Structure formats: C-alpha cells, structure tokens
Amino acid sequence: MKILFIGTVELSYKALNRLIELKAEVVGVCAKAKSTFNSDFADLTPLCKENKIPYKCIDDINSRENIEWVKTLSPDIIFCFGWSSLIKKELLTLAPMGVVGYHPAALPQNRGRHPLVWALALGLKKSASTFFFMQEGADDGDILSQEEFEISYEDDAKSLYSKISNIALNQIKDFLPKLQKNSFKRVRQNHDKANVWRKRGKADGKIDFRMTSNAIYNLVRALTKPYIGAHIEYNGQDVSVWKVEEIEFDKDNIEFGKVLENSNKAIIVKTYDKAIKIIEHDFKELPKVGEYL
C-alpha cells in the first residue's frame, strides 16, 4: 500500500516516524519549510532525507504543480495528519483509497478549528482522537479509528498534546495493517449530533477578571506553551500569562480585577467569584496591591 504523507506539525513528525518504524511504504511527503502559523511546526525533511523518502516543501497543496507531483507517485492512499489548509476535491479523489485525516475531537462532535484549545477552554472532561476519511466538508467523513481519552484538571496544552500524540501513534499501529489487508471498517458519522467550533481570535485569549476563576484557569491552560498564551491588557500592552492557580476568597464587597497580593513574582487578583493566582507571566514590573487589572 503506497502512502503519500502530508503534514507540518510535531504530531506529523511523530506519525511519519511511526509509519517508518512499521515498515510502511511511504512513497512521498508533502511538508513545509517553515510556518508562521503553526506554533507546533516541525520540519519533516530531515526524516525524509534519513530514510530516502521523496519530499516536496509546498505552500499550496492544491496547486497544479503539486497535484502533478503527487500523481507521479501513484499513491494508493493519502495520510494528512497536521495540515492547516483545506484539501480540495481533485486531491481528495486522487488516491483510490482516499485521504485519511486526523482530528483530536470526538467526531461528529466538535468539528472545526482549534479542537484542543477549545476542549480545555470549555473545561471538557473527555474528548477523543479520531482518524477519518476526508471529504469536502469540515471533518465530516467516515470514521476509521476513534479512541476516547480523559482530560484531567491538571492537563494543559502541552500535556494534552503529548497525551493525544501517544494515543494517535497507537491507533496508527492498529489501523495500518487493516488498511493494508482491506479489513478496515468505515463508521458513518451522525451529522445530527455535529457541531463546528469556530476559528479563535486574539479577543478569545484575553483574560477578563469578570470571568470566574475556573474560566480563567481553563483559558490559561488552553493557550499555554506551545501555543500563544492568554493575555492581560495592562498599561496599553498585552502581557502573556502562562500558568495560574484558583484561590478561595470569600470576603464581601471586593471588586473583580483588584490586585490583592504580589510577592515572589506571583500576583493574586480578585475574580468574579473567587481569586486567581498568576504564577507564570511576562509582567516586567508587578502591578501594585490595590491596582486594578
């Protein structure tokens, strides 16, 4: 089974390496030389060079030049794990077995953008790692493999990324021989149960102390490294926040946003319902006690 691989993030690198370990016939790789969009960008070319796999660094996966290059490889199937732009019909229908995509959500629920960030920001307790056959719609094709996982209170963007990566690699090991032997099953999605998460913008990362402590905690852990970070607007500047802790606070008549303590770089701020301790941040100078954020 000849595989064309498309990817450009850390998970892509791990998945390609797993396919190589499993002795899969990877006939070509479409990658990117660099990316200002993907905070988890990974260069796949060293892995290709080491294993003598033909590769092409591209920007537009759907360009005529790139489609023609893929055709010369005559892939039986295409794996697209970690690619941020849409794949159009010509490429989707090029390989006889189709294109297998990846989405770290419990499809048909939570299709769309930023699935790990939204899962943490919304405080979900569980989600899933899903491989599916791509169609022209958003994450709506038949499911090839799906594995549920728990999201703990302590999980953040980095730990959750690592968790789903390990699960995904095990799924690849399981479904690859089934694809090779044509013994796999396709599970149609129930579109009536679907929702689509929108693209997040800068405003979605802003900490507003009118939020509850738990909402702020979830937002910060969702956007911490390797992502861009949640932020506070302070003196006309955006200050990144990387780690916080929920603090019990039951005094009456204290307004949200008031700085209650600042010591050893930590800052405690009143929220709508309790307080939040800002532990890791990019403040150059700590706000004063009594000041408002």
- Predicted confidence pLDDT, tens digits, the chain (293 residues): 999 999 999 999 999 999 999 999 999 999 998 876 667 889 999 999 999 999 999 989 999 999 999 999 999 999 999 988 889 999 999 999 999 999 999 999 999 999 999 999 999 999 999 999 999 888 999 999 999 999 999 999 999 999 999 999 999 999 999 999 999 999 999 999 999 999 999 999 999 999 999 999 999 999 999 899 999 999 999 999 999 999 999 898 999 999 999 988 999 999 999 999 999 999 999 999 999 99
Position 75, amino acid: P
Contact in structure between 120 and 160 (CB atoms under 8 Å): yes
Position 144, amino acid: L
Domains, in order of start, for the chain: 2-197 (3.40.50.170), 202-281 (3.10.25.10)
For the entire predicted model, the pTM comes to: 0.93
For residue 89, how many other CB atoms are within 10 A of its CB? 10
Residues 6+ apart with CB under 8 A from 155: 120, 163, 221
Question: Quick one: DSSP state of residue 104?
Answer: S
Query: Can you tell me the distance from the alpha carbon of 246 to that of 275, in angstroms, rounded to the nearest whole number?
Result: 6
